[in-house]
Amino acid sequence: MRWEDFRSSDNVEDRRGEGGGGGGFGVPGGGAGGLGIGTIVVLMIIGWVTGINPAILIGGAEQMTRGREPQEQTDPQTQQRRRTPPADQSGQFAAKILGNTEDVWSTVLPNQTGKSYPPTRLVLYKGGTRSGCGSAQSAMGPFYCPLDKKVYLDTSFFQEMGQKFGVKGDFAYAYVIAHEVGHHVQDVLGILGKVQARQQASGKVESNHLSVRVELMADCLAGVWAKNSDDRFNALEQGDIEEALRAASAIGDDKLQERSQGYAVPDSFTHGSSEQRMRWFMTGYKTGQTKACDTFRSAGN
């Protein structure tokens, strides 16, 4: 991928080097020693929609109410340090991929949906940090938080992709970022809010099925970005699409479950099978159209 030619985004917060404070956030309705049932339900819905383990969100919130951890630093020096462009290659790569998603979606979204595109912010961290959805930890992997409209990424995840899943390549890494930006596009379109409402009225199995549709749509939107980026910026090189497909295949729920427990349980899927993830990415890439990514209407999901 010719990412070196991309514009670097200014919407990057580099929190690496701040010490991995994995604190939580203030929770309305929570009390000392525990969380209210309403708060727990909300955190579970956020977890299902975003793909974050709800137990991690609940644990982070409980830790906050019990331990009364200090609030995240927002002093001018901290803010200025976070605004300083990343100097390392992985940070520069992330900033340039984010910049390219901004350049693509700021044109594609209005043209295809009539909606303007307010950019998301990308938070780079190491080990742990705070997010609007609670404690962000490396073990959670990259995720989008709809409460603060930010993407969270520990750049060591790129190394983990190679070590754990045998997936390498700049476009495979770009696909990961584009997938999370796809969740932001869903948020802009009002889809995440609608799914949360449906999940609140559903049981666990149906909530999981809705989560799969959200994740597959984000895969498709990553494909839409790739197609339009290549058409406009000549961004792709030979083998790039294969890299993305290998990444999508490696992190399918079926393969992850088979690897961890020896068998797959489809009703517990939250992101989709390897075949589904590859297929929906290619749907977005082949069409380049946001409307082609309606996983909620597709019978062949």
pLDDT at 59: 47
- Asked whether residue 295 carries a pLDDT value surpassing 90, the answer given is yes
Residue 287 has pLDDT above 50, yes or no: yes
Partnered with residue 123 across adjacent β-strands are 13, 152
Number of other residues whose CB lies within 10 A of the CB of residue 237: 14
- In a domain, residue 96? The reply is yes
Question: Residue 93: its pLDDT value, please?
Answer: 97
89 inside domain:
yes
Alpha helices in 201-273 (DSSP H): 204-233, 240-250, 253-261
The pLDDT of 178-187, averaged and rounded, is: 97
As a three-state string, the secondary structure of 51-76 is CCCHHHHHHHHHHHHHHCCCCCCCCH
**Residue 301 maps to a domain:** no
d(CA 10, CA 129): 20
Mean pLDDT, rounded, for 58-70 = 43
In a domain, 37, yes or no: yes
Point out the least confidently predicted range of 102-106, 182-186, 198-202. 198-202
pLDDT-derived band at 26, boundaries 50, 70, 90 = very low
| Share of residues in the chain with pLDDT > 70 (%) | 77
* pLDDT higher than 90, residue 218: yes
The DSSP code sequence of 95-130 is HHHHHHHHHHHHHHHHHHHS---PPPEEEEESSEEE
Entry pTM? 0.80
Q: Quick one: average pLDDT of 11-37?
A: 53
Residue 228's domain comprises 3-293
**Does the pLDDT at position 58 exceed 90?**
no
* Residue for token pair 């099978």: 273
d(CA 271, CA 248): 10
- Residue 165 is predicted with a pLDDT of 83
Q: Over 90: is that where the pLDDT of 40 sits? A: no
Decide if 298 is inside a domain. no
Phi, psi of 153 (to 5 degrees): -145, 120
Residue 23's pLDDT band, with cuts at 50, 70 and 90, is very low
Residues in Cβ contact with 26 at an 8 Å cutoff, skipping those fewer than 6 apart: 64
* Number of domains present in the structure of the chain: 1
CA dist 47 and 185 (Å) reads: 18
pLDDT digits (tens, 9 = 90+) for 239-248: 999 999 989 8
122 beta partners: 12, 151
Name the 3-class secondary structure at 78: helix
Average model confidence (pLDDT) across the chain: 82
The first and second tokens of residue 191, run together, are 């889809």
Would you say residue 300 lies in a domain? no
In a domain, 119, yes or no: yes
Task: Measure the N-to-C terminal CA separation of the chain; round to a whole number of Å.
Answer: 29
Mean pLDDT value across residues 227-237? 97
Cα 294 to chain centroid, rounded: 18
**Per this entry, what is the length of the chain?**
301
Helix (H, G, I), strand (E, B) or coil at 258: helix
Q: Is 12 a domain residue?
A: yes
pLDDT value, residue 250? 84
